[in-house]
Structure 1
Amino acid sequence: MSGSSNYRVEKDSMGEKLIPSDVYYGIQTLRATENFPISGLKPLPTYIDACLLIKKATAIANSQLNCIPQDIADAIVQAANEILQGQLRDQFVVDVYQAGAGTSHHMNVNEVLANRALEILGEEKGNYQRVSPNDNVNYGQSTNDVIPTAIRVGALLALEHNLYPALDNAIAIVKQKANQFQDIVRSGRTHMQDAVPIRLGENFRAWEQILTDHKIRISNAEKDLYSLGLGGSAVGTGLNTHPQYRHRVAELLGEFTGKPLAPAKHLMAAMQSMSPFVAVSSCLRNLAQDLVKISHDLRLMDSGPKTGLKEIQLPPVQPGSSIMPGKYNPVMAEMTSQVCFQVIGYDTAILFAAQAGQLELNVMMPLIAYNLIHSIEILGNTISALTTKCLAGITARGDRCQSYAEGSLALVTALNTHIGYLNAANVAKESLETGKSIREIVLSQGLMDENQLAKVLDLDKMSKIIDG
């Protein structure tokens, strides 16, 4: 391991390379950075954490099973803990788009842990005779079972710490707004045309139910992530692993994540099939499409202020124009739609990647890992931002809502059972042509008396949801 003071020499099966002496990654990582200068995107922090938790669990399990020396295992665990706590995070440098299956990122993790473990043991970085990235850090493992496990663990971490809290808060705020706006009547609209009156609060109550249902769907899909292929080694047979290893490591990872993780019934199946990731991603896509609809509704209801609906006021958070003074745009809702479009695109890429595996391996896992975890996190961040910067500050324009509800031609719908559909249609037509109110026309034609008409056109009664 000779070299100048600024470099060390490392060897692999392809030859030698000079590695900067201050870095903790090694020769295989360096080759990957040279081979894949693609996007500038580096592995997500949550994905790194997932890999570190796996390496920590495997080191403990292998030491307990007498597969690697205790002092080496302890050093690996200490190194993993240090990085989990924030140290050396800049050492994970391989582009997201990289060697199939994620070998490059996997070796990046192995090399950083090995070199930090060497320092802990009083050795120099690169002295892999004492601690080897392959023989010690990666004992009993393969990229082929580590990476699908890391995707599972990373997705679970992102859901638990990001998306679920964001959804819970959004649901609580929307429920609060539903109660606040329950007595405000507004005109319903279907086909972008006038419809019968509804309560503004019920709009928000519907959104509350929609978001609640999505959380349930995602929580159900999450359960497919609990079965781990870790221990399958290269192709699912468990070659070079202790018979108890898969059980011990799943138990440890379960303790680290707080999830009921367990070895899959068939390790090969868990390593080959990406269907759990497709299932979770499809739930994210489904949530995204409803969030787009909600964000569009918010923009429509806030449109104006003079020439639009302006039934609600979204809180202004920044100036809206570089040329038009006093303009404020629904930027949080706009941002929400953009993120959701991206998540829908990521889902399509995940689907294509999932079906692109061959025989014993899916080599498209780096794409799945990034897209799935990133989708969870940007959706969570978006919902959090939308909730705090938009939903929580919405106010209602009750006067505007009432005016639209009273002027809607769709009020004639309530007359159907009293004067018949055709008579009601003629009333609506005359009202539109003459500008006279529905009330005036019905009374002038003697279709109903004033007391009966007042009861039928009671907006408060018409907009209440009928219990069934």
Structure 2
Amino acid sequence: MEPVVADVRIETDLLGPLAVPASAYYGVQTRRACDNFNLSGVTLAHFPQLINALAMVKQACALANTELGLLDQKRGDAIVAASHVLLQGQFHQQFVVDMIQGGAGTSTNMNANEVIANIGLELMGYERGQYQHLHPNNDVNRAQSTNDVYPTAVRLAILLSHSDLLAALSRLQTALRNKSHEFADVIKMGRTQLQDAVPMTLGQEFGAWASTLGEDIRVLASLSELLKEVNLGGTAIGTGINADPCYGKLAIEHLSRISGFTLIQSEDLIEASSDMGAFVLFSSMLKRLAIKLSKISNDLRLLSMGPRAGINEINLPAQQPGSSIMPGKVNPVIPEAVNQVAYQVMGHDLAICMAAEAGQLQLNAMEPLIIYNILESMRLLKRAMMMLDERCIRGITANRDACADMVHRSIGLVTALNPYIGYENATRIASRALKENRSVIDLVEEEGLLPADELRRILEPRRLVNAIPDTGAW
């Protein structure tokens, strides 16, 4: 008769015994967190860089504790090896706690402690759950608290995700800049308050979008420096209780080497344990980027409006049929999706601000919401920019004839005549042109306000936009 293999193991914590799936690498505290926090449905495994950051922190702490003689070599090596396994992308599915959780991130920290302990136990030749040989709290979490591990790991997770966000932003900026060169000779009307203004080039319009994103590349790069200041070594509230005085800085040195980022310990660990200012500032920058992307998307939708009954200055690449009832209709679905991502990021920022304000005394218990929203904003923005770049910007074409026709018919050309015929005359000509549906040039000639050759030179659109030298020809 085949032996019966139990599908659970029993683990015990402060609240008593609890069954944990035998196949699980997490333990009892993670199991309780899963039962308690069935909220967003988004688990830690949704953000691989957060898991990698936790693994790096645990590895660095183990190395520091071993070096100081606070952890024996065998256990220290097991923690380092188990953390390395996580960094290779294995066992990420074992991080099952919901991103939104009570306890200021304790469940996240314990999920990491238990998974690392059980991986380490197997590497040492023991069974999962035999914590007398490698304990989640006594060994993996030695000289640590959720209150210094979690904020440190989160800052590191943002730094690890930061390069991908900037890369997507840089590629989008390059795509816009390329279009600015491609459309450098396409003359069109600029608009203010949705009304005709003065001529410009389509290339200038795309170039302005590229420039505004360039500002965000620079600011986002500089803001990452704020995240390199961590409170590791502060333990519970920043006083460093249960940690060797040399431990914190030593652990940060190891973490800097492991992560590739030059991290420093906060000057005031008590302040750093409760303050969320760096996250608020970083989120505000993500919101600013979202607003810019949404504005660009709005412009793309307006400029492509039509095709027969709208502005129709540009064509967006068709990505899917636009209607279940109107044959031939194609919608600007990519910019529309970017708009919605932007609105979500703006909402995330508001939640982050409220959570940061909700901190009390020496800790902010709302930090899990802050972290979830920042990492999700970064993920959404990265994907939105990649989509906008690859599925929209690169395929845009210009309707050159439509752009030129609107310039020739626009009353906005009269603005250039102010220095030559005066504001009153220019106003009268504009009013007549609008009422009589006639061109500005015809009316100025009719009234004899300027010689024909000078008029055409002044109103040469290419001259007005300073895009190419004046040729003296219309």
TM-score norm. by structure 2 comes to 0.95
How much does 1:4 deviate? 6.4
Tell me if structure 2 keeps the 8 A contact 1:92–1:108: yes
Does 2:129 align with 1:105? no
Q: 2: CA distance between counterparts of 1:287 and 1:439?
A: 42
How much does 1:178 deviate? 0.8
Q: 1: CA distance between counterparts of 2:88 and 2:329?
A: 44
Does 2:30 align with 1:20? no
SS in 2 for 1:125: coil
Query: What's the C-alpha RMSD, in Å, of the aligned pairs?
Result: 1.5
> How do residues 201-240 of structure 1 correspond to structure 2 at under 5 angstroms?
201-240=203-242
Q: 1:285 aligns with which of 280, 287, 294?
A: 287
Q: 1:19 to 1:4 in 2, by over 3 A?
A: farther
Deviations 1:310-362 (A, max 9, x none): 11111112222222222221111111111011111101111111111111110
Q: 1: CA distance between counterparts of 2:257 and 2:405?
A: 58
How much does 1:73 deviate? 1.6
2:320 partner letter: Q
1:21 partner letter: A
Q: 2: CA distance between counterparts of 1:169 and 1:448?
A: 48
Q: 1: CA distance between counterparts of 2:433 and 2:465?
A: 22
1:247 partner letter: K
Q: 2:159 aligns with which of 153, 156, 161?
A: 156
Q: Which residue of 1 aligns with 2:62?
A: 59
2:390 partner letter: T
Does 2:77 align with 1:74? yes
Q: 2: CA distance between counterparts of 1:370 and 1:38?
A: 12
Q: Which residue of 1 aligns with 2:321?
A: 319
2:120 partner letter: A
Tell me if structure 2 keeps the 8 A contact 1:24–1:112: yes
Q: 2: CA distance between counterparts of 1:311 and 1:73?
A: 65
Q: 1:466 to 1:138 in 2, by over 3 A?
A: farther
Deviation beyond 6 Å, 4+ runs, structure 1: none
Q: Which residue of 2 aligns with 1:440?
A: 442
Q: Which residue of 1 aligns with 2:472?
A: none
Q: Which residue of 2 aligns with 1:115?
A: 118
Q: Which residue of 2 aligns with 1:180?
A: 182
Q: 1: CA distance between counterparts of 2:264 and 2:438?
A: 71
Tell me if structure 2 keeps the 8 A contact 1:272–1:357: yes
Tell me if structure 2 keeps the 8 A contact 1:199–1:464: no
Does 2:267 align with 1:259? no
**What's the % identity of the aligned pairs?**
44
Q: 2:95 aligns with which of 79, 92, 97?
A: 92
Q: 2: CA distance between counterparts of 1:60 and 1:412?
A: 74
Q: Which runs of 5+ in 1 are unaligned?
A: none
> How do residues 32-431 of structure 1 correspond to structure 2 at under 5 angstroms?
32-43=33-44, 44-160=47-163, 162-431=164-433
Tell me if structure 2 keeps the 8 A contact 1:189–1:195: yes
The structure with higher relative contact order (CA 8 Å, sep 6+) is 1
Q: Which residue of 2 aligns with 1:8?
A: 9
Q: Bigger shift: 242-251 or 137-146?
A: 242-251
SS in 1 for 2:250: helix
SS in 2 for 1:346: helix
SS in 2 for 1:100: coil
Q: 1: CA distance between counterparts of 2:6 and 2:77?
A: 29
Q: 2: CA distance between counterparts of 1:298 and 1:307?
A: 16
Number of corresponding residues: 464
Q: 1: CA distance between counterparts of 2:65 and 2:5?
A: 36
Q: Which residue of 2 aligns with 1:460?
A: 462
Tell me if structure 2 keeps the 8 A contact 1:439–1:453: yes
1:8 partner letter: R
Tell me if structure 2 keeps the 8 A contact 1:117–1:131: yes
